[in-house]
């Protein structure tokens, strides 16, 4: 399910569903330990004149927006025509402390004064385990607390206008022993005040208010999170002292300043396109833990359809995000990311498939044996891309001391491993798994990232005056380039194979030639400068990929490759369009532009991304080619990353062509 909004501060992350319900609660790492389990929600209910409705019961008009005059200003609006009520919801995770804040402004649209009750339900699966949770009402502080071990969640609410605290509560079981959940207790407009329960528990708190005709009142709700009971209560006192309104306002101001860290001239981009750029930066930050881990997505809805979610760190995704951070001027965050790489690289100098935010190894489906032969279960492009990301960090920060600090522990290890994976006779990169995590072989994309990494290594060696290493890396990069041009190029079709498998003792040295049109092959050749953007071979390859892959429905966009089956909706297209691959085509279009008129035609892709973002400014992984609905993880960090890179490419090219 697409999220309406996602909030975080590097220690916690909270995702809301389309009904304004809390859907994901991560703590103490972004992406690790989702205490709603990816299947529970914190429901919101309203009782008026003996009628009760939950916000997810299908009777509400729900809308959201994420910007105002180009600045980020998240708003969720719930309207119920039968109840004659409108609720404006404003949310933030406080940037300094682990507090999730919610403001509910209730508008009485009736011509009569009315008693209205607002109910907040809390559903937790603490530690992602069904057993041993406790929830209780604390009469001393008038709060409800859920806890297990070192995971503690405190819920509280007050009326901002009258200063009255919540006056109803109840705690109970849900989903076990025949219990649907304590939230059912709210539906008659009166909670039974059960004070404690253990097991799989939920709780509800409620506030009553009298609102004048066409009047309004605001209810503030917050969730304080800690590993320590005393601390969570101190956080509650902090909110009461500072006031939720103040904390929400200061957090909004923080994000406004944060997103404007680097002064930018957006040229002819619209306010909406500028806002999505800023929202994309925020999505990157919300998905970046204080450890430097960048998870692919906080969306756990995929758990309903598969074996796992996207709440892992793929070194590939993280490397691309690192490059976006570097270009956008966020050097401090980027250093944390590279430190994360430094801590997880293997002694041999490579990266495994994916990792958890605490730097432990993530789940994988890559075997250690391929056709009876022992092989590393890796995607070599992930290691090569980290080298490219380190070079990008230095280019934009010029932090020579930091580069020296990680040169031997990270950079040199990765480069040495990459070199060990090059066949010095042919220049071919030894086989590994592809970036789409499906096939084994030598890929044009992977080989291109290796070429880029060796070019970057040569540049960094020059920075330190290592002349011999500079020449060695440059020679090897040329060898790899020749391997790509000699073996990956199909002279008959004037395109490049997606994959080859080279066998020294076969008749022509090639056992497999996979000519599947794949957007990553085109992108790799272009982005890592194996071929210049005006090279005839690249132009032919672009035409070939567009003819094969361009989505033929009105939705448009680019799928990953021919006959992509992942979440495929219809056989009438090659695959669902992806934001990532569509932005890659945009970046090539921008690079090939020779005039402002040509460049402005590339705006099509930026407009495309905006038109397919959610109303809350969230980009998904894929789109349904028949109706444009978002599919798979939403938000996807990598999608937002590529949008940022595309906008930066556009601005830089605009400046070049204008000078």
pLDDT, position 85 = 97
- pLDDT at 351 exceeding the cut of 60: yes
Residues in the chain: 659
For residue 190, name the pLDDT band (cuts at 50, 70, 90). very high
pLDDT, position 599 = 97
Assigned token pair, 541: 């390859």
For residue 266, name the pLDDT band (cuts at 50, 70, 90). very high
What tens digit of pLDDT does each residue of 499-534 get? 998 776 455 667 789 999 999 999 999 999 999 999
CA distances (Å), 156 to each of 89, 291, 298, in order? 16, 29, 25
Q: Name which of 296-300, 471-475, 521-525, 603-607 the model is least confident about.
A: 296-300
How far is the C-alpha of 366 from the C-alpha of 369, rounded, in Å? Answer: 9
- pLDDT at 307 exceeding the cut of 60: no
CATH assignment of 5-258? 2.70.98.10
Question: Quick one: average pLDDT of 390-413?
Answer: 96
3-state SS, residue 640: helix
Question: Is it true that the peptide bond before 28 is cis, omega within 30 degrees of 0?
Answer: yes
pLDDT, position 178 = 66
3-state SS, residue 93: strand
pLDDT, position 250 = 97
pLDDT, position 433 = 97
- pLDDT at 72 exceeding the cut of 90: no
- Over the chain, what is the mean pLDDT? 94
Percent of the chain with pLDDT over 90: 90
Nearest to 370 by CA among 440, 289, 308: 440
DSSP state of 430: P
Question: Quick one: average pLDDT of 66-76?
Answer: 87
Taking a C-beta distance cutoff of 8 angstroms, is the pair 41, 23 a contact?
yes
Global pTM? 0.96
Question: Quick one: average pLDDT of 556-580?
Answer: 95
CATH 2.70.98.10 domain range(s) in the chain: 5-258
pLDDT, position 179 = 74
- pLDDT at 1 exceeding the cut of 60: no
- Dump the DSSP string for 366-429: --SEETTEE-----HHHHHHHHHHHHHHHHHH--HHHHHHTIIIIIIHHHHHHHHTB-TTT-PB
pLDDT, position 436 = 97
Taking a C-beta distance cutoff of 8 angstroms, is the pair 299, 638 a contact?
no
pLDDT, position 76 = 95
What tens digit of pLDDT does each residue of 18-57 get? 999 999 999 999 999 999 977 899 999 999 999 999 999 9
DSSP state of 629: -
Question: Quick one: average pLDDT of 586-599?
Answer: 97
How far is the C-alpha of 385 from the C-alpha of 345, rounded, in Å? Answer: 13
pLDDT, position 261 = 87
For residue 304, name the pLDDT band (cuts at 50, 70, 90). low
For residue 262, name the pLDDT band (cuts at 50, 70, 90). confident
Question: Cα-flanking dihedrals φ and ψ of residue 221, to 5°?
Answer: -125, 145
Assigned token pair, 296: 């692919």
CA distances (Å), 56 to each of 65, 80, 450, in order? 18, 12, 49
């Amino acid at each position: 399910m697409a999220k309406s909004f996602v909030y975080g501060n590097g220690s916690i992350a909270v995702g809301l569903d389309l009904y304004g319900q809390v859907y994901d609660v991560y703590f103490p790492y972004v992406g690790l330990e989702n205490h709603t389990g990816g299947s529970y929600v914190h429901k919101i209910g309203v009782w008026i004149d003996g009628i009760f409705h939950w916000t997810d019961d299908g009777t509400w008009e729900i809308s959201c927006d994420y910007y105002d005059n180009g600045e980020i200003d998240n708003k969720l609006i719930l309207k119920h025509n039968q109840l004659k009520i409108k609720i404006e919801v404003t949310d933030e995770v406080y940037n300094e402390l682990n507090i999730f804040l919610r403001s509910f402004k209730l508008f009485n649209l009736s011509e009569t004064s009315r008693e209205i009750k607002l109910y907040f339900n809390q559903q937790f699966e603490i530690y992602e385990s069904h057993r041993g949770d406790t929830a209780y009402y604390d009469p001393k502080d008038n709060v409800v607390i859920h806890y297990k071990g070192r995971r503690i969640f405190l819920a509280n609410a007050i009326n901002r206008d009258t200063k009255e605290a919540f006056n109803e509560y109840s705690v109970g079981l849900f989903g076990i022993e025949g219990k649907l959940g304590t939230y059912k207790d709210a539906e008659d407009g009166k909670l039974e005040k059960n004070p404690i329960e253990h097991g799989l528990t939920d709780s509800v708190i409620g506030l009553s208010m009298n609102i004048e005709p066409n009047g309004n009142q605001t209810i503030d709700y917050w969730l304080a999170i800690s590993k320590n009971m005393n601390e969570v209560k101190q956080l509650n006192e902090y909110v009461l002292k500072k006031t939720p309104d103040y904390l929400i306002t200061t957090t909004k101001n923080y994000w406004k300043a944060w997103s404007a860290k680097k002064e930018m001239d957006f040229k002819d981009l619209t306010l909406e396109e500028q806002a999505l750029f800023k929202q994309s930066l925020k999505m990157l930050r919300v998905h970046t833990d204080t450890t430097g881990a960048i998870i692919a997505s906080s969306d756990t809805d995929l758990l309903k359809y598969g074996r796992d979610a996207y709440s892992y760190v793929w070194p590939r995704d993280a490397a691309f995000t690192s490059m976006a951070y570097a270009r956008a001027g966020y050097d401090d965050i980027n250093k944390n990311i590279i430190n994360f790489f430094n801590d997880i690289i293997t002694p041999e100098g490579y990266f495994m498939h994916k990792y958890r935010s605490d730097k432990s190894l993530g789940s994988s489906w890559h075997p250690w044996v391929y056709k009876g032969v022992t092989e590393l279960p890796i995607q070599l492009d992930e290691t090569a891309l980290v080298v490219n990301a380190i070079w990008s960090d230095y280019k934009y920060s010029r932090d020579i001391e930091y580069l020296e600090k990680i040169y031997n522990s990270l950079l040199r290890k990765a480069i040495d491993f990459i070199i060990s994976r090059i066949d010095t006779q042919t220049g071919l990169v030894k086989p590994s798994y592809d970036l789409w995590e499906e096939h084994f072989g030598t890929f044009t994309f992977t080989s291109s990232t290796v070429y880029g990494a060796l070019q970057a290594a040569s540049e960094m060696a020059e920075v330190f005056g290592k002349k011999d290493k500079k020449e060695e890396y440059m020679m090897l990069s040329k060898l790899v380039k020749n391997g790509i041009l000699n073996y990956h190029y199909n002279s008959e079709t004037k395109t490049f194979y997606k994959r080859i498998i080279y066998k020294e003792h076969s008749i022509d040295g090639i056992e497999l030639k996979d000519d599947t049109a794949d957007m990553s092959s085109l992108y790799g050749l272009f982005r890592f400068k194996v071929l210049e953007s005006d090279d005839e071979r690249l132009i032919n390859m672009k035409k070939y990929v567009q003819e094969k892959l361009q989505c033929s429905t009105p939705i448009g966009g680019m799928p990953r490759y021919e006959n992509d089956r992942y979440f495929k909706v219809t056989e009438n297209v090659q695959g669902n369009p992806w934001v990532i691959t569509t932005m890659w085509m945009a970046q090539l279009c921008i690079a090939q532009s020779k005039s402002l008129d040509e460049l402005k035609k590339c705006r099509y892709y930026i407009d495309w991304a905006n038109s397919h973002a959610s109303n809350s400014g969230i980009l998904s992984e894929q789109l349904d080619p028949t109706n444009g609905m978002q599919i798979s993880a939403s938000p996807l960090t990598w999608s937002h990353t590529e949008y940022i890179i595309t906008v930066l490419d556009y601005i830089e090219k605009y400046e070049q062509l204008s000078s």
